[in-house]
Amino acid sequence: MNDINLFLAKLTYTSAKLTILPEIILILGLVAVVVIDLLSKGKNTFLLYKISMVTLLASAVILLWQWGFFTAYERSHARDFGNIFRFFLLICSLLSISSSVDYILCSKMSLAEFLLFKLAAGLGGMVLSCANDLVTIYVSLEFLALSSCFLSGYTKRDMRSNEATMKFLLMSGASSSLLLYGFSLLYGLSGGQLQLDKIVDGIIFNRYGSIIYLSAAFTTAGTAFKLSLFPFHQWTPDVYEGSPTPVVAFFSVTSKVAALALFTRLFGLIFPYFSNEWHVAVGLLATFSMILGNLIAVTQRSVKRMLAFSSISQIGYIMIGVLSADSGNGYASMITYTFIYILMNLGTFACITLFGLRTGTDNIRDYAGLYMKDPVLTFSLVLCLLSLGGMPPLSGFFGKLYLFWHGWKAGLYSLVLVALVTSVISIYYYLKIIKLMFTGKSGRSDTPLNSRQNSLVSLSISISKNSLEIAMIICALASTLSGIFIDPIIEITRNTFF
Amino acid sequence: MFLSHQYDSFWIFLLVCISIPLLAFSITRFAAPPREGPEKSTSYESGIEPKGDTWIRFQIRYYMFALVFTVFDVETVFLYPWATSFEELGLFAFVEVIVFIFILIVGLVYAWRKGALEWC
């Protein structure tokens, strides 16, 4: 009996010590999905869905348990940061998988590969957000980018999807090469060190001034491609428009969150010595993405394209949080807003997926009079859009308030002013859709609605359809209510500074 | 940084490197007699008479086979350094390699069952 207890204690300790246990569980889930798909020859789709959900949940639970286990003994801020982002990525994967199963089954594509790519992308993001090594960072980034690329071309008979994949592949290749140039300069300057903290020790900042600037510029350009900051944003709208909607939902949050973690770590750890210069540069990029993202979004006719530009501007807001980090609060405002952004964005995309499934269109014009047909969908979409715009009672407002207040305290006056003005512009185009849904007359979208619904009924997959609606409602509720519980979130995220 | 004298030999080497292809192209222009013909502008395909357009589509299966080949190829590349220092690395590396091969084999079985290894 004593032996068993000892063994259990030892097992607990080793599994808590093994920090990549959540990732290992995800890999096991991946293998299980592939093997079961091969054994059942693509018939048992619901089991695959359940396996991937259970894997993600188990991974999240173990991550939280390890986190609690370690904070009881020692507190490491870098690990806190990584853990928060890993948890965010797991949430993204969970919500987006549950909201996309319905779409995949309706369009009669195979589910196994879809789940495979989503789990793989989530895995890449998780490794990326806690990587401490240039090679690991690069490999996991490519892992994430390639999986997202395959996902964006998942509807392979659709020409636009093919175009989106091609663009995404070329752009991510170009950005990775830029990033690699930056990394190679860092590697050379630090005398052949790969680990981030050793690089910082190895670099002599006064001696190689100009080359470090070059390296920082390359790294900024490479990560800005992934984040779709202003001059590197051109791929975003096309890829968003062409890819299938649930996939867009997935990589509008996952790759952004992972790239954000990478950006913050790289710049927080390696380049703190000339923080003035890169603060100015990143501030400029953020300003331009806020202005252009919001202004171009006003003129868009397709909802997906509009959300692409709105995500460009949201990244601009988040950058304020990155720039205003101080040792007291750390990246609290950035992480809090990222969390709220994940929920709002996934909620909006879940609503659009549902609408697209029923009508087969994503024009803004076709949203006219949606309130008469489906009040629940309309209501959740309204909540998510208003939250994205930052209307007071919803959580987007509190997130933005905290972010801007933080930025103002850090002395980023011009950035915060621009952000305030552009938020007002953004409310205009979000409200435009809401107005259409309530007041517009629905004339022409009747026929496709019926045909799609018939196919839905004939397929009789009510279970997964529920999952899409559940995910939508969870996102809408969370993006409404997390404003009330913002204090504990801030309290958790406060201690994250390297 | 590049102005110190220890880089002199490098600069000379770079000059020689650049000049060789330039010379190679310019010499033929001076030495060879200019004789244009339809035979001359066709592409050279190992002595076989070229047929049709050059912009033809290849079978996608070539790429499929190339991809499956990469599974083995990468596996071998990674296994070589492990095999040469098998004694020093010990049991842990052995387990790691088994995990590695297992994941690759799952990929191979997947490709096989999905029909990537069949030609038609």
From first to last of its 498 residues, chain A has per-residue pLDDT tens of 567 777 777 777 776 677 788 888 888 998 888 888 888 876 777 788 888 888 889 988 888 888 877 766 665 666 778 888 888 999 889 888 888 888 888 877 888 888 889 999 999 999 998 888 889 999 999 989 999 888 888 888 888 888 889 989 998 899 999 999 989 988 888 877 888 888 877 776 666 677 888 888 888 888 888 888 888 888 888 888 888 888 888 888 888 899 998 888 888 877 776 667 778 888 889 999 999 989 988 888 888 889 899 999 999 899 888 888 776 676 888 888 888 898 888 888 888 888 888 887 778 888 888 888 788 888 888 888 888 888 877 888 888 888 888 888 888 888 889 999 999 889 988 888 888 888 877 555 444 444 444 444 444 444 456 777 888 888 888 877 877 777 777 777 776 655
Domain interval for residue A312 = 75-442+464-495
Q: Is residue A450 classed as helix, strand or coil in its secondary structure?
A: helix
Cα B44 to Cα B41, B49, B55, distances in angstroms: 9, 8, 15
A62 touches B at CB < 8 Å: no
Lookup: tokens for A327: 């040792």
Could you identify the residue written with the tokens 């059942």?
A: A40
Chain B residues contacting A, CB < 8 Å?
Answer: 1, 103, 106, 109-110, 113
Q: What is the mean pLDDT of chain B?
A: 82
Q: Identify whether A455 is part of a domain.
A: no
Percentage, residues of chain A above pLDDT 70:
89
Q: How far apart are CA A151 and CA A254, in angstroms?
A: 12
What is the enclosing helix (H) or strand (E) of B88?
helix B86-113
CA B19 remoteness from chain centre:
26
For tokens 């590197």, the residue is A232
Domain B4-42+58-114 has CATH 1.10.287.3510: no
* Coil, helix or strand at residue B48: strand
Q: Residue A93: which of A134, A60, A127, A140 has the closest Cα? A: A60
A226-A227-A228-A232 Cα dihedral, nearest 10 degrees: -60
Domain assignment present for A69 = no
Using the Cβ of A463 and the Cβ atoms of chain B, whether some distance falls under 8 Å is answered with no
Q: Are A144 and A254 in contact (CB under 8 A)?
A: yes
Nearest to B110 among A34, A208, A211 (CB): A34
Beta-bridge partners for A302: A363
Identify the closest residue of chain A to B112 by CA–CA distance. A38
The answer to whether B103 contacts A27, with C-beta atoms less than 8 Å apart, is: yes
Torsions phi, psi for A293 (to 5 deg): -55, -50
CA distance A343 to A352: 14
**Contact B106/A211, CB-based, under 8 Å?**
no
- Binned at pLDDT 50, 70 and 90, residue B23 comes out as very high
Q: How far apart are CA B5 and CA B8, in angstroms?
A: 5
Q: Taking CB atoms and an 8 Å cutoff, what residues of chain A touch B106?
A: 31, 34-35
**Do residues A368 and A437 make contact, with C-beta atoms less than 8 angstroms apart?**
yes
* Mean pLDDT score, B37-55: 73
Q: Computed from CA positions of residues A395, A398, A402, A405, in that sequence, does the dihedral angle turn out positive or negative?
A: positive
**A458 located within any domain:** no
Closest CA to B111 of B76, B70, B55: B70
Residues of A with Cβ-Cβ distance to B110 under 8 angstroms: 34, 38
The residue extents of the domains of chain B are: 4-42+58-114
Tokens of A241: 């428009």
- Do residues A74 and A101 touch, judged by C-beta distance below 8 A? no
The minimum CA-CA distance between B110 and chain A, rounded to whole Å, is 7
Tell me the nearest-neighbour CA distance from A38 into chain B, angstroms. 7
| From B1, B106, B113, residue closest to A31, measured CB to CB | B106
CB–CB contact A35 B106 (8 Å): yes
Torsion from C-alpha of A78, A80, A82, A85, nearest 10 degrees: -140
Q: Is A32 on the interface with B (CB under 8 A)?
A: no
Q: How far is Cα A423 from Cα A313, in angstroms, rounded to an integer?
A: 9
Q: Which residues of B touch A31 (CB under 8 A)?
A: 103, 106
Q: Chain A: give the shortest CA distance to residue B99, in Å.
A: 11
Residue A37 lies in a domain: no
CA distance A277 to A215: 13
Structural domain total, chain A? 1
Task: Please check whether residue A317 is in contact with residue A290, taking contact to mean a CB–CB distance below 8 angstroms.
Answer: yes
Interface A-B, measured as beta-carbon pairs within 8 A, has a size of: 11
Whether A31 sits inside 8 A of B103 (CB atoms) is yes
Give pLDDT tens digits for A25-69. Answer: 888 998 888 888 888 876 777 788 888 888 889 988 888 888 877
In this predicted structure, what is the pLDDT of residue A447?
43
Cα dihedral value A277, A282, A288, A293, nearest 10:
180
- Residue A209's nearest CA partner among A179, A185, A180 is A185
Q: What is the pTM of this model?
A: 0.83
CA distance B57 to chain A (A): 17
What kind and span of H or E run contains A122?
Answer: helix A111-129
Report how far Cα B100 is from the mean position of its chain's Cα atoms.
Answer: 24
State mean pLDDT over B76-82. Answer: 88
When CB atoms are compared, the residue of A27, A38, A208 closest to B110 is: A38
Taking the CA of residue A423 as centre, how many other CA atoms within 13 Å lie in the half-sphere pointing to its CB? Answer: 25
In this complex, do A211 and B1 lie within 8 Å of one another by their Cβ atoms? yes
Please give the residue of chain A at the shortest CA–CA distance from B105: A31
Contacts of B74 (CB under 8 A, 6+ apart): B104
Q: Which of A473, A463, A497, A476 is nearest to A106 (CA)?
A: A463
Provide, as residue numbers in chain A, all residues whose Cβ is less than 8 Å from the Cβ of B109.
Answer: 38
**ipTM metric:** 0.71
